[in-house]
Amino acid sequence: MNVQATGTRKLDLSPGRAEASHIRVENVTVAYGAIKALSDVSLSIPPGRITALIGPSGCGKTSLLTCVNRLIDLIPGANASGRILVRDTDVLARGADLLRLRKRVGMVFQKPNPFPFSIRRNFDIVLSEFGVRRRADRDARIDECLRAVGLHAEIGHRLDMSACALSGGQQQRLCIARALATRPEILLLDEPCSALDPMSTMTIERLLLKLKDSVTLVIVTHNLSQARRIADQCALFWTRRGTGYLLEHGTMADLSERPQNQVTDDYLNGRLA
Amino acid sequence: MHRNLRPFVNDLVVRAAVAAVVLVLAAIVMHVVTRGAALVSWDFLTTAPRAAGRAGGIAPVLVSTAAVTGVALAAALPLAVGAAVFLVEAVGPHTVAARLTRGCLGVLAAVPSIVFGLAGNMIFCDWLGFGFSILAGGLTLALMILPIAACVAETTLRMHGEDRRAGYALGLPQRRIVWSIMLPAAAPGIFAGLGLGFGRAVAESAALIFTSGYVVRMPDSVFDSGRTLAVHILDLAMNVPGGDGNAFATATVLLASVAAVVALFTALDGKQGRDFV
């Protein structure tokens, strides 16, 4: 593609206007073996908001997302450098407590992935690991999570059916509910609606808007209208010679109406694929 | 070839291949069953052989077969699952340890059964002092079915990579992911692998002659020698003049038991398929 970025909007962290950041990404670079996927990204993600990571495929959005909960460690040969501060803990530091981190930072994937067991067992595995031992306490927590995602009326009375028998949209909401079972402070969502029909997508979007009061949400999406509908903040990633980088960052209105780059303007207005 | 003929010829080739497979199986089954089925009766299944197997039934042979395959499956299951979990969880897919493990399993799969028999005789009968016994035979068979059982278990566990990732994303520790998620989710596939192993174990004769022996008496324990169905058929067909009839009857029982076990494991596997629709 024959476009050149003209610069990255610097984050406004000046006192007064700036909010405390919940996640602070500082000079993060990700490589898979010898291939650099993401280069030198710095970004601040405020608490209690929805931040959308957008951009074409292969520009490192998901790589950045999986750095925040260190799920990237599961990929052999993957290496992330720089710092990511969640509150004040550097999650990329050697010796970071990954189990504790992932309990605080939940994740929802592109394809709904409930465990192939009953709905109840999907929660029980998580809850019993985190010390909710009494049946009554567990049931109360399952109730709470299902209510939070609006599934309680639909499936609250048939918790013993297989989670795989639910519809795609219900499965995805179940996965969100399961992620909420650990009471996370951050929820990472990797294209959570890309496998869903428009009605289920709308349900999930409403749900995310409701959840953001209690949880910081970071969502990767290819759907620009979705980003416009739900995101408070937006980070546009682009690629240069196969390596992703952060092109521009701000509110959706900033990016749409006052883009700092021609590429941003073109991408957000559908002139670039 | 004329363009319009091509689909027709392709279709014909595929149908012919299917017909060949079905016909070969049908020919074997017909050959055995037509000569053996008439001799199979409740008495045949529940009495001991007489006159070197020409007369009487196969009761001790059935018991020994169940015991040998039982020992084999019980010993192979933890080894196969352990190897598969090691390959999926403990080491990267392309590390030296993974390649070494897979290489060993590959070599083990290619070893002829007679060599397993000799090795089993040396290791289990002599070194470990089990003598000719059901235990020695079962352990030898466990090594034989280990490669296929481990390979199927590994493949099934890898099919559940999404569940594994979901488990890690929830902050669950590895032991919980393996014991509470991966193994229960993969269990039907793991048992299907064992089912394939059972097919090989129950049909084995060469490896067992040197390990579990061919004493036809009812075994008292796994330390007794015992003769399996396949060994009984071999003996009747090769060493006992006039033993053909009971050889075919025994073969009919063997085929029926393999079919039953395969059907059972296929049903388990089918259940897994439904779960993932």
Using an 8 Å CB-CB cutoff, list residues of chain A that contact chain B: 69, 71, 74, 76, 98-104, 106-107, 109, 111, 113-117, 125-126, 129-130, 162, 164, 175, 178-179, 181-182
Of B223, B233, B239, nearest to B257 by C-alpha is B233
Q: Which amino acid is at B83?
A: A
Backbone angles phi, psi at A81, to 5 degrees: -125, 170
Question: Two tokens at B66?
Answer: 């169940």
CA separation for the pair B227, A69 (Å, rounded): 58
Determine the distance in angstroms separating the CA of A116 from the nearest CA of chain B, rounded to an integer: 6
- Nearest Cα neighbor of B71 from B2, B106, B114, B120 is B120
Q: Which fold has domain A23-268?
A: Rossmann fold (3.40.50)
Q: Which amino acid is present at A183?
A: R
The residue extents of the domains of chain A are 23-268
Q: Is B165 on the interface with A (CB under 8 A)?
A: yes
Quick one: pLDDT at residue A252? Answer: 86
How crowded is the C-beta side of B107, counted as CA atoms within 13 Å? 5
Single-letter residue type at A253: A
Interface touch B176/A129, C-beta < 8 Å? yes
First to last CA, chain A: 10
Calpha distance B102→B99 (Å, rounded): 5
Residues in chain A, overall count: 273
For residues B17 and B60, give the distance between their C-alpha atoms in angstroms, rounded to a whole number.
41
Query: Which amino acid would we find at residue B231?
Result: V
Cβ contact A99:A126 at 8 Å = no
pLDDT tens digits for range A140-172? 999 999 998 889 999 988 999 999 999 999 999
**Chain B residues near residue A69 by CB distance under 8 angstroms:** 169
pLDDT per residue rounded down to tens, chain B (277 residues): 577 888 889 999 999 999 999 999 999 999 999 999 999 999 999 999 999 889 999 999 999 999 999 999 999 999 999 999 999 988 877 889 899 998 999 999 899 999 999 999 999 999 999 999 999 999 999 999 999 999 999 999 999 999 999 999 999 999 999 999 999 999 988 988 888 888 888 888 999 999 998 889 999 999 999 999 999 999 999 999 999 999 999 999 999 998 888 888 777 765 544 333 2
Listed in sequence order, the DSSP H helices in A39-149 are: 61-68, 98-104, 119-129, 135-148
Residue B161 contacts A where some CB pair is shorter than 8 Å: no
Among A32, A65, A113, A186, pick the best mutation site for testing chain B contact (most B Cβ within 10 A): A113
Q: Which of B123, B137, B120, B129 is nearest to B64 (CA)?
A: B137
Q: Which residue has the tokens 């080894």?
A: B79
Q: How confident is the model at residue A270 (pLDDT cuts 50, 70, 90)?
A: confident
Give the number of other Cβ atoms within 10 Å of residue B270's Cβ.
12
At which residue do the structure tokens 């520790």 appear? B173
| Rounded Cα distance, A155 and A174, in Å | 10
Give the CA count within 13 Å in the CB-facing half-sphere of B32.
18
Give the model's pLDDT for residue B270.
Answer: 59
**pLDDT the model gives residue A210:** 93
Of the candidates A114, A72, A110, A252, which has an alpha carbon nearest to the alpha carbon of residue A189?
A110
Distance separating alpha carbons of residues B138 and A192, to the nearest angstrom: 50
Q: Is B193 exposed, middle or buried (0-12, 13-18, 19+ CB in 10 A)?
A: buried
SS3 B168: helix
Q: Residue B277: its pLDDT value, please?
A: 27
Note the pLDDT of residue A83.
Answer: 95
> What pLDDT digit, counting tens, does each position of A59-115 carry?
999 999 999 999 999 998 899 999 999 988 999 998 899 999 999 999 999 999 999
In contact, A155 and A146? CB cutoff 8 Å: yes
Q: Are B53 and B239 in contact (CB under 8 A)?
A: no
Average pLDDT estimate for A160-186: 94
Global confidence as pTM = 0.84
| Residue A236, CA distances (Å) to A30, A54, B227 in order | 17, 5, 72
Residue B105 makes CB contacts below 8 A (sequence gap 6+) with B83, B146, B147, B150, B151
CA distances from A46 to A18, A28, A215 (A): 9, 18, 11
The pLDDT assigned to B189 comes to: 87
Alpha-carbon distance of B92 to B5, in angstroms, equals 49
- How many Cβ contacts (< 8 angstroms) between chains A and B? 70
The residue among A108, A123, A124, A125 with the most chain B CBs within 10 A of its CB, best to mutate, is A125
Q: What is the pLDDT of residues A198-239, one digit of tens each?
A: 988 999 999 999 999 999 999 999 999 999 999 999 999 999
User: What are the tokens at B159?
Assistant: 């099919």
Nearest CA in chain A to B277: A164
The closest of B78, B213, B214, B230 to B136, measured between CA atoms, is B213
B159 min Cα distance to partner chain A (Å): 12
Q: How many CB atoms lie within 10 A of CB A144?
A: 14
Alpha-carbon Rg for chain A in angstroms: 19
pLDDT at residue number B193 = 87
Assign A20 a pLDDT band (cuts: 50, 70, 90).
confident
d(CA B99, CA A138): 43
Tell me which DSSP letter residue A134 carries.
S
| Kind and range of the H or E run holding A90 | strand A89-90
8 Å CB contact of A69 and B92: no
Contact present, A185 and A216 (Cβ < 8 Å): yes
* Identity of the amino acid at A67: C
